[in-house]
Structure 1
């Protein structure tokens, strides 16, 4: 039974618990789940932040928390009492992974039992949480031999990561369980990194310039967008360092026709405009009309003139004018396995069967866009995945069926060189996991 709440007793913990249940049972992403759970009804920004942190933290450690809870319960709760199950998960996250006062966590969690009209569960909730506090060390020892619990990753995904990255898998799963840093990209048409770092310092925000992206900055600690000086005036955008590399890898030249396929929300589109000083003819393509609005909004804020089109990249005949492109960026839909630290709900929302379906879609996109590229032109293939099935394997399949395509090796001082392309793993140079491969038409 879904967790309900009275109108006058909404709390951050209640919203977080409800959101986790919606992700796990209804398959909603965390943003939509939090919205449906009532995060916008919370009294203040502090409560909103608290609810979001509990929700994302519980999702981040979901697999581990499930194992711990199973050890604390004599038997699983009935389906109609799954709201209590998720209430216990969020409480266990707070007890095991935060420095919130323990007595407060137990007390507030027990109070929620009354709010959701399940007074009968008071003793159960109180007992489970106090047993955890007494047995924490013993429970941690018990889960040490349970790879899914230790890594807090679903078994199918853990197996792929271990097989694909036998030397790095522990670092990958550890990074996936950390909170991602907040990185920025300077709009070089309106500012420069040195000037913007000075603005940040004046605003009391500590940050460092990236050693990988010349226009990139990583904050010492995340902050609200409203605190970023000049954000509304287009001085800066929020963007991880890894996707900031795309514009440089495209090797842009003045006057080129450039297509950014699957472009929303427009971060890489904007960076292409900035890196080329607006001297390329840039088209941004997006199928989803709502996400198309995000591109337009970002272009207006940043002051870029871009031809924004709605269309399906797999069906160029419905939107393409017939003029071929010098450069194509294909940031293909993927599993998001490289950005789990940013979107921990991926661990619950993705399934093993998704990967083959995504690989087929990625190959279809490559095949559909390739005829739009000029002879001598370059296509940059990118994903935010760390799985070979979506990356070098897709490129290998495409090259085996396309005689006039060749890979151009990417020679850089970051990432891991693969059979085709380069792979950035989560946390390397503070970046998200990302894959790039560059193809040229002969």
Structure 2
């Protein structure tokens, strides 16, 4: 008879094997695995185990290799994944020892690894006794990325490496048309949820520890959504748009930025687009839940000739595809899957998107360029090159409230004020 939680550990091992050994993205494999669990608390625990194991994968593997007579081979990828899940439960998540060990050992039996269940038990018991040896956070990063971060942020790189491997907080965005942050905070506190306001963000609530969002008051009704504080701040850059202004959100999925704009300014005319039809459908679901009205389009923002009707926009938001190096703590598989050669392709795509967006912006209009990257090549250098190409483009510094000053933009780094790493640049289009 299975120990309670066995199936969850089997699923965790499967997700980690797919990500670590089979090269699949965490987003692609985690959600289907979660759907096999009926309890929202189990789904949240599965996610927490997988994220913790990936954040600390380098340290856990180093301990595992040091404790075993010989390293596990490729045929043992499922077993290594299960051990990573077990280590994460005891080390990062501090789960009850008995439950974590028993369910993980039972999962080894379920996975056809009964002959190695004793070894799994012994290794987990060693973690209980000795803990996992510490390791420098920089060791979790591929050399090329560690070098790039150290070059771009020499005095802050150590804090970036450390913050990128920590469990992030949960940020909520309160629908400005349905409640206030203060009123919603009171609801959370009545429910026993530890949370606080973020005074510099009008609609934000900060939770030091994550909770299952579907159980939050009013979530299904769109009263509250999940959105990091850095991403929420982007709406402040367009807060002065007049009613009826036409806004293009060029890479909008999953729709949080457009929804936030419309929650604050329902009279805006927003076209939210994404190149992927599935992601565009998800945007539609976001808008339906929050009750905002936006036009949704699945099309390539870098190729306006294939879809654009020629009507100029008053503002364009371009939260561009990027290396995601500012959100490694939320997407730790970036450390496994991102390659140095990917950056060159991303830089070309970002430049094409910027140039295309500029053609669709009216004189006097505003372009907001953003990424969740911390690499200067994708951020301030990308904007500087764009300004060189367009004589009618003028950079406008959004101010100290938006993070570290760069030559052409502002940058938050991971963990600062509890936020994700995020870059903003505002460029105004003048009449020549």
Residue 76 of structure 1 pairs with residue 64 of structure 2: no
Question: What is the alpha-carbon distance in structure 2 between the residues aligned to residue 9 and residue 88 of structure 1?
Answer: 15
CA RMSD of aligned residues (A): 2.4
Structure-1-length-normalised TM-score: 0.89
Distance 1:308 1:87, change over 3 A: closer
Q: Is the 8 Å Cα contact of residues 64 and 148 (structure 1) preserved in structure 2?
A: no
Structure 1 runs not aligned, ≥5 long = 1-5
The change in CA–CA distance for 1:224 and 1:9 in structure 2 (over 3 A counts) is closer
Which segments of 5 or more consecutive residues in structure 2 lack a partner in the other structure? none
* Contact 1:374 1:441 (C-alpha < 8 Å) held by counterparts: yes
Q: Are 1:265 and 2:270 counterparts? A: no
Give 1:156's aligned residue: 144
SS of the aligned residue for 2:219 comes to coil
Shift of 1:99: 2.5
Deviates more, 1:417-426 or 1:402-411: 402-411
Q: Write the distance in 2 (CA, Å) between the matches of 1:123 and 1:187.
A: 52
Q: Structure 1 274/75 Cα, relative in aligned 2: closer, same or farther at 3 Å?
A: same
Which of 352, 355, 361 is equivalent to 1:364? 352
For the residue of structure 1 that corresponds to 2:363, the secondary structure is strand
* CA drift at 1:195: 2.5
The match for 1:11 among 7, 11, 34 is 7
- Partners of 1:135 and 1:226 in 2: how far apart? 37
Q: Tell me the TM-score normalized by structure 2.
A: 0.91
1:413 counterpart SS class: helix
Q: Does the Cα contact within 8 Å between 2:6 and 2:103 map onto a contact in 1?
A: no
| Contact 2:6-2:107 at 8 Å conserved across structures | no
The correspondence of residues 151-230 of structure 1 with structure 2, limited to 5 A, is 152-230=140-218
Q: Secondary structure at the residue paired with 2:326?
A: coil
CA 1:104–1:436 in structure 2 vs 1: closer, same or farther (change >3 Å)? same
Task: Give the whole-Å Cα distance in 2 for the aligned partners of 1:46 and 1:186.
Answer: 23
State how many pairs are aligned: 427
Q: Give the one of 290, 300, 320 matched to 2:278.
A: 290
Equivalent residue, structure 1, for 2:110: 115
Range with bigger deviation, 94-103 or 407-416: 94-103
Change (3 A) 1:164 1:252: same
Q: Does 1:33 align with 2:22?
A: no
Change (3 A) 1:108 1:157: same
Local SS of the residue matching 2:150: helix
- CA deviation vs aligned residue, 1:325-366 (integer Å, no higher than 9, x gap): 111100101111111222222222222221221111111100
From 85, 88, 94, the equivalent of 1:90 is 85
Given that 2:6 and 2:104 are in contact with CA atoms closer than 8 Å, whether structure 1 keeps it comes out as: no
After TM superposition, give the deviation of residue 133 of structure 1 in Å: 5.2
**Inter-partner Cα distance in structure 2 for 1:425 and 1:100:** 30
